């Protein structure tokens, strides 16, 4: 597409035109530019004009020099060299008319006006950018406004105008804004860039370009960037008056962090106006964050019911701040926490459902887990400055609810017993991914992410083997569970191998799994996807025992890694990845209430469970061990713990610890697939070749792909075992009609289509 630069090059070349019969060729083209308007574009022009010289200080590398140098250069030209163009910045053609007043420094080239030719307008005036664009005699004849703003923009943006396609400039009357658009098509974004980095942004413009941009901003927004400076501009921005509303909208709705430094300037803004939306002021948001932080500290000191009312009142006041730009930039942490606290308040207010095990499991899987998820999300935002306030607010709402849900499960188990554990099936083509400590709410988030990644996910649940600790529950979901029994490892809740009586350890576990034809995949191994697999991933539980409530911040990273591991296995060819876990956990900010086992009574004691000595008795609840019903496992009542100041623990009787997710993940591919490879017509009969491993596929000819009523065939035909079929069109009058050959699954789903013409395209 021809540009303005192309047009200028053509006109300079045409200046050497002459009558070969009556005239000698010019030795040089003289291009005067009294106002130096072409200087900004000279470097681009030099790349296109081979012999472009400039009159000026001596600089041979740029083909520039004084008049004497010009005369010398002319003398160096050889036959066949192109006619040079001498650009004369600051010199007008009129100066050559009177040799008496001719500048002394130009006299060596005065005579060139007689041996050379001029590139000037028909009227003898210098060509200017405006003249080149607008003149109908030798110019481009474009409609250009001649007001001061337009001329100023054009003169300041000559180098940008050079790159503009002439066809684009012909689309309408050219005014200042059209030329400024060559410099910036995003005024709002450019102003924000400048506000965040004035010096760096200014360095990206030439002096002439900056003058145009500065003038344009002043005309549109009423500020002089150089004279007013960033703070004044920031004060205009936060008030959102006039054109500033669009600038603010760009800042507020842009990608978080796009203008990361702008808020530093906005923090200094102190607009004199009294009536405007303070949501634009970072200082106002920061002050509200302090108010909310203090309110959450107080929240931790009041009863649960009052705390719930207070959270909702705070939400009415501070909730809207989550929609402010400061929340996007991570500067409204407490307002974000408040959103999770509202969800926690709502979830914990509803009554605990379920009067039997299935009912309780269904209630927890559909609604109850949301309280755990809200608490975890709030705790994930706690840091060293906000931790105390967030922990206290979560605890006051969450701990009483945890107690109520624990009590409900205890009541149900008392009447119907703890359920017998059921294994997790692993068919051929299935890899079981064991994720230690995948609590239900965390599993729900993982399921959503796997769905969003394009997988199919079946979300089931199961009661784990009691007590919910790794030694007991992990073997229960393995393929060797039927080879295990109780034994000497009861004190550590670890079963033994029935055939040998030895306590199960990791080495024995791998050997038995291999003997059961289950591949144990280490690290990033993917194994043989035609068989059965077992792989382990994740350290939520390990991190929880070590770091307590900081675990909340760790979960997101673990989920990302789990997603990657699932993707690796599916990509390697596994039909399905089944994710299961050994137990959930409790996470209580401020620590779980203490429960004591009298000194000397315990054979072993963990955070939430213990095995007492055979001769010992304690006023504590107990349930049979999953691997040996004669062994009683004592557990801490409710959500208590046997050690003080424990925030993270498992091993007791709560739905959080005992009811866990089982996710079966498959690639979201159609059950039946196929494609039409080729079509051939023999008269009114269409022969189709189909690729598919499925049987029962059908080919039809239709006017509309998805409309069975638009069929043009006598009857659709089933694809044969060789992948071919022949479909007849009964009505010969349909010859030449446009149609689609459609491949259908047995249930009528369209698998593929191919356009054709009845009777053949010929």
pLDDT for 730 equals 80
**Exposure string (b/e) for 492-529, b if CB count within 10 Å is 16 or more?**
ebbbbbeeeeebbeeeebeebbeeeebbbbeeeebbeb
Three-state DSSP class for 594? Answer: strand
pTM for the whole structure? 0.77
Judge residue 71's burial from the number of C-beta atoms within 10 Å of its C-beta, 0-12 exposed, 13-18 middle, 19 or more buried: middle
Q: Which tokens hold the place of 605?
A: 């004691």
Q: Which of 304, 416, 399, 305 minimizes the C-alpha distance to 355? A: 416
pLDDT for 762 equals 53
Return the ∠ at Cα 479 (arms to 476 and 481), rounded to 5°: 40
As averages over each run of 10 residues, the pLDDT of the chain (762 residues) reads 87 77 81 90 87 92 91 88 91 79 83 89 89 90 90 87 87 86 88 94 91 91 95 93 93 81 90 84 94 95 95 97 92 96 97 92 96 98 92 97 97 93 92 97 97 93 97 96 93 94 95 96 94 94 95 96 96 96 97 87 90 82 95 95 95 98 88 87 91 90 88 90 90 88 88 90 60
Return the ∠ at Cα 382 (arms to 378 and 385), rounded to 5°: 145
Question: How far is Cα 654 from Cα 54, in angstroms, rounded to an integer?
Answer: 88
pLDDT for 21 equals 61
Cβ neighbors of 408 (< 8 A, separation 6 or more) are 352, 354, 360
**C-alpha to C-alpha distances, 364 to 500, 600, 638, nearest whole angstrom:** 40, 37, 17
Q: Which CATH class is domain 675-757?
A: mainly beta
Question: How far is Cα 445 from Cα 540, in angstroms, rounded to an integer?
Answer: 14
Cβ neighbors of 458 (< 8 A, separation 6 or more) are 663, 664
**C-alpha to C-alpha distances, 506 to 501, 606, 627, 705, nearest whole angstrom:** 15, 21, 18, 58
Cβ neighbors of 511 (< 8 A, separation 6 or more) are none
Q: Which tokens hold the place of 652?
A: 């007791």
Query: Can you list the positions of beta strands (E) in 553-684?
Result: 576-580, 586-587, 602-605, 609-612, 622-625, 628-635, 648-649, 659-667, 675-682
pLDDT for 733 equals 84
Q: Which of 385, 402, 438 minimizes the C-alpha distance to 565? A: 438
pLDDT for 530 equals 94
Question: How far is Cα 215 from Cα 155, in angstroms, rounded to an integer?
Answer: 13
**C-alpha to C-alpha distances, 200 to 180, 226, 269, nearest whole angstrom:** 20, 14, 21
pLDDT for 652 equals 97
700: which strand partners? 742
H helices present in 172-281, as ranges: 176-183, 187-196, 198-202, 207-221, 225-239, 244-253, 262-266
H helices present in 222-324, as ranges: 225-239, 244-253, 262-266, 282-299, 304-318
Please give the torsion angle defined by the CA atoms of residues 435, 436, 437 and 443, in that order, rounded to the nearest 10 degrees: 0
Question: How far is Cα 517 from Cα 479, in angstroms, rounded to an integer?
Answer: 9
Do 521 and 533 meet the contact criterion of CB atoms below 8 Å apart? yes
pLDDT for 19 equals 60
> According to the 3-state scheme, what is the secondary structure of 26-67?
CCCEEEEECCCCCHHHHHHHHCCCCCEEEECCCEHHHCEECH
Do 623 and 635 meet the contact criterion of CB atoms below 8 Å apart? yes
Query: Can you list the positions of beta strands (E) in 61-205?
Result: 64-65, 85-89, 117-118
The length of the chain, given as a count of residues:
762
Q: Which of 700, 702, 703, 675 minimizes the C-alpha distance to 689? A: 675
Sign for the pseudo-dihedral over CA of 86, 87, 93, 95: negative
Q: Which tokens hold the place of 194?
A: 């400048």
33: which strand partners? 89
Judge residue 431's burial from the number of C-beta atoms within 10 Å of its C-beta, 0-12 exposed, 13-18 middle, 19 or more buried: buried
Q: Count CB-CB contacts under 10 A for residue 339.
A: 18
DSSP assignment, residue 82? Answer: P
Question: How far is Cα 30 from Cα 16, in angstroms, rounded to an integer?
Answer: 10
Do 428 and 530 meet the contact criterion of CB atoms below 8 Å apart? yes
pLDDT for 725 equals 93
Question: How far is Cα 757 from Cα 762, in angstroms, rounded to an integer?
Answer: 9
Question: How far is Cα 460 from Cα 128, in angstroms, rounded to an integer?
Answer: 77
Cβ neighbors of 259 (< 8 A, separation 6 or more) are 192, 193, 195, 196, 251
Question: How far is Cα 109 from Cα 86, in angstroms, rounded to an integer?
Answer: 10
Question: How far is Cα 311 from Cα 645, in angstroms, rounded to an integer?
Answer: 26
């Amino acid at each position: 597409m021809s540009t303005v630069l192309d047009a200028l090059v053509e006109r300079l070349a045409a200046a050497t035109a002459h009558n070969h019969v009556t005239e000698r060729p010019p030795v040089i083209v003289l291009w005067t530019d009294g106002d130096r308007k072409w200087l900004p574009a000279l470097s681009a022009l030099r790349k296109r004009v081979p012999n472009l010289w400039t009159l000026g200080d001596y600089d041979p590398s740029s083909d520039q020099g004084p008049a004497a140098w010009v005369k010398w250069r002319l003398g160096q030209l050889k036959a066949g060299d192109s006619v040079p163009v001498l650009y004369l910045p600051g010199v007008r053609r009129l100066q050559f008319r009177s040799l008496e007043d001719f500048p002394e420094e130009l006299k060596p080239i005065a005579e060139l006006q007689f041996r050379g030719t001029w590139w000037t307008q028909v009227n003898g005036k210098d060509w200017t950018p405006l003249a080149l664009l607008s003149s109908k005699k030798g110019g481009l004849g474009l409609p250009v406004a001649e007001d001061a703003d337009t001329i100023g923009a054009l003169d300041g943006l000559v180098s940008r105008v050079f790159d503009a396609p002439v066809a684009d400039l012909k689309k309408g009357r050219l005014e200042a804004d059209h030329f400024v658009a060559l410099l910036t098509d995003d005024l709002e974004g450019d102003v924000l860039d400048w506000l965040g980095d004035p010096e760096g942004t200014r360095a990206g413009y030439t002096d002439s370009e900056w003058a145009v941009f500065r003038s344009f901003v002043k005309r549109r927004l009423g500020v002089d960037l150089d004279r007013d400076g960033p703070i004044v501009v920031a004060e205009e921005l936060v008030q959102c008056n006039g054109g500033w509303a669009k600038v603010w909208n760009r800042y507020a709705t842009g990608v978080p962090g796009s203008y990361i430094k702008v808020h530093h300037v906005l923090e200094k803004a102190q607009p004199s106006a009294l009536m405007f939306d303070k949501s634009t002021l970072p200082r106002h948001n920061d002050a509200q964050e302090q108010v909310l932080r203090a309110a959450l500290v107080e929240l931790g000191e009041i009863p649960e019911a009052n705390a719930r009312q207070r959270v909702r009142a705070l939400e009415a006041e501070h909730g809207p701040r989550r929609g402010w730009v400061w929340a996007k930039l991570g500067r409204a942490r407490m307002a974000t926490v408040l959103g999770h606290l509202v969800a926690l308040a709502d979830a914990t207010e509803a009554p605990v459902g379920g009067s039997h095990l299935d009912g309780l499991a269904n209630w927890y899987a559909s609604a109850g887990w949301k309280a755990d998820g809200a608490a975890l999300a709030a705790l994930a935002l706690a840091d060293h400055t906000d931790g105390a306030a967030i922990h206290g607010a979560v605890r006051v709402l969450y701990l009483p609810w945890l107690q109520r849900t624990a009590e409900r499960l205890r009541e149900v188990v008392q009447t119907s017993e703890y359920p017998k554990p059921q294994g997790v099936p692993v068919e051929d083509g299935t890899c079981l991914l064991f994720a230690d400590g995948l609590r239900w709410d965390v599993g729900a988030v993982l399921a959503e992410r796997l769905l969003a990644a394009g997988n199919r996910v079946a979300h089931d649940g199961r009661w784990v083997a009691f007590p919910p600790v790794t030694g007991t529950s992990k073997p229960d979901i393995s393929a060797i569970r039927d080879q295990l029994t109780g034994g000497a490892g009861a004190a550590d809740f670890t079963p033994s191998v029935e055939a040998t009586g030895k306590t199960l350890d990791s080495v024995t576990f791998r050997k038995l799994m291999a003997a059961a034809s289950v591949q144990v995949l280490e690290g990033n191994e993917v194994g043989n996807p035609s068989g059965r697999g077992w792989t382990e991933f994740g350290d939520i539980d390990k991190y929880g025992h070590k770091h307590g409530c900081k675990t909340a911040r760790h979960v997101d990273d673990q989920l990302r890694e789990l997603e990657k591991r699932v993707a690796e296995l599916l990509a390697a060819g596994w039909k399905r990845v089944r994710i299961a876990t050994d137990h959930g956990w409790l996470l209580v900010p401020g620590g779980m209430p203490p429960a004591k086992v009298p000194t000397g009574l315990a054979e072993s004691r963990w955070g939430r469970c213990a095995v007492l000595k055979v001769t010992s008795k304690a006023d504590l609840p107990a349930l049979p061990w999953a691997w040996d019903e004669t062994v009683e496992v004592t557990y801490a009542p409710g959500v208590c713990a046997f050690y003080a100041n424990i925030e993270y623990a498992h091993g007791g009787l709560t739905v959080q610890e005992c009811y866990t997710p089982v996710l079966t993940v498959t690639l979201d591919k159609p059950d039946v697939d196929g494609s039409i490879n080729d079509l051939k017509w023999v008269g009114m009969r269409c022969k189709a070749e189909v690729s598919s491993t499925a049987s029962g596929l059908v080919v039809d000819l239709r006017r509309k792909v998805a409309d069975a009523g638009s069929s043009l065939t006598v009857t659709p035909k089933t694809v044969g075992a060789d992948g071919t079929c022949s479909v007849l069109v009964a009505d010969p009058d349909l010859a030449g009609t446009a149609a689609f050959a459609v491949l259908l699954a047995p249930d009528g789903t369209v698998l593929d289509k191919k356009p054709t013409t009845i009777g053949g395209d010929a």
